[in-house]
Amino acid sequence: MKSKRPIISKSHTKEWVPRGYIVVHSSSPGTGLSQGCPTVGGDNESLAPKAVIDWLCGRGKGFTTPDGNEAVVADWCTGKVGMTGTSYNGTIPLAAATTGVDGLEAIIPIAPNTSYYHYYRSNGLVRHPFGYMGEDIDYLYDYIHSGNESKREFCDCMVRDKEMANGFDRKNGDYNDFWAGRDYLNDIKPLKAAMLMAHAFNDWNVVPEHSVRIYEAVKAKGVPTQAFFHQGGHGGPPPMKMMNRWFTRYLHGIENEVEKDPRAWIVRENAERTQPTSYGDYPNPDAKPVNFYLTGAAPQRGSLTTDRPNEQATETLVDNFSFSGAALAQAEWTNHRLIYVTPKLTQPIHLSGTPSITIKLASNRPAANLSVWLVSLPWSTNRQAKITDNIITRGWADPQNYRSLTESEPLVPGQFYEMTFDLQPDDQVLPKGQQIGLMIFSSDRDFTLHPNPGTELTIDVGATSLRLPIVGGKAAFSKATTEPATKK
């Protein structure tokens, strides 16, 4: 039976060859017909595509077989290379670019995984991607390890069972040297390739912070960069016209002034993905942070306002992973979550940027999950409802990491701790008639581990606040919650 390892998708060939490009596919270490071992973000996965680019540009040697001496020269290459791909295949272009290799002129990473810590952890908390209960980096290693079977045992022993097993610290979830070595933000200094980054704000597999953190760093370097965001899930490239315009400028050298285009392109909630709206940047330059404060009413819904209330009492929730986040958000009365809602919007509100929460809490046990959702209410149960109709953004944290990501410590039951952490970046226009809801709970059955129910989290309501990036700032929010609804 013929091996399936050499089979590679021809989609890029169909898209790009008719547009005047040559398409080259290469396999990452430990996959397909490549040599070596997969490391899931290790240095070899950056150096391998660099070696291919060195060969394309005439600096490296290539042969027809790994142990042969019949040379292959890429004399058809102009010396200008671009890279694109989605998910893991979107990570590889970024990985190659962080080497600073000459000849790599432009990249278009689509939903790339830019930090494996941020893929499997969140603010110190062990967390899995949506739909992959309990998965960790060793599982992903097994999933992609499709290379030569005769070398599997060696790779499994050296990488999965030693380096990974000794490094990923599934017990504490702390950021350590193992994770730092798989975080491309730490390797960004040599990058010089023009970058068009693409991601979805509702990607709960590779969450949007993966692209936003790299986009901000590359922009700060002064390297040409643009961002394309849409409202869907994992994957989704920019429109072909936009991608072709990018590669035309940097690979063909056509002065089409793409670098002068608006920096951010965002698909609005009801638009087709091929029809993004342009903005000066992301986050929206007109967005300003607005602080929101809580008034408790547990186990019912409390309120969320921009006015700091008088002294507040504490409120307690009881962890139970049996209840989904959607069920908790819809519940009028439950002790398994705390929820605080704004007045009903009489006009749309545009959120753009990264929300954050400062929370003061105590646990009755030495460890606890902490989950935060920002939801749009009333919750739509319509079968045709889009995710943006209900979910604004989410975030997770380990209270044991209240001091830092690199060191956790057991909680003293009953003692209050304060921590501040970001939720996932977003850009969303909330329609009039909705309310913004801040929901605080413990175990998120779709993302966190499932401890035995019963852990109690007590929130100091008066010392807890939410910061939202709102286009137009506090004035825009006040106008949208106090003035009568406008007619279209």
Token pair 């390892």: residue:
5
Q: How far apart are CA 144 and CA 105, in angstroms?
A: 28
Q: Contact, 266 vs 398, CB < 8 A? A: no
- Can you tell me the distance from the alpha carbon of 369 to that of 456, in angstroms, rounded to the nearest whole number? 10
Question: How far, in Å, CA of 149 to CA of 262, rounded?
Answer: 48
Give the C-alpha distances (Å, rounded to integers) separating 359 from 3, 56, 227, 351.
54, 52, 31, 21
- Cα(282)–Cα(190) distance, integer angstroms: 23
CB 145 within 8 A of CB 27: no
Residue 252 known to be catalytic: no
Helix pair 88-97, 44-56: axis angle to 10 deg: 70
Strands 225-230 and 194-200, by their bridges, are parallel
The answer to whether 203 is a known catalytic residue is yes
Residues whose CB falls within 8 Å of the CB of residue 374, separated by 6 or more in sequence, listed in order: 355, 391, 392, 393, 394, 423, 436, 437, 438, 439, 466
Sign of CA dihedral 419, 216, 424, 454: negative
Residue in 234, 376, 408, 446 annotated catalytic: 234
Cα dihedral angle (118, 268, 258, 25), rounded to 10 degrees?
50
Active-site residue flag, 234: yes
Catalytic residue among 12, 25, 43, 87: 87
> CA-to-CA distance for 357 and 372, rounded, in angstroms?
9
Integer Cα distance of 352 and 356 in angstroms: 12
Among 54, 203, 319, 460, the one annotated catalytic: 203
Q: What is the dihedral of CA 110, 111, 117, 123, to 10 degrees?
A: 130
* Residues identified as active-site: 87, 203, 234
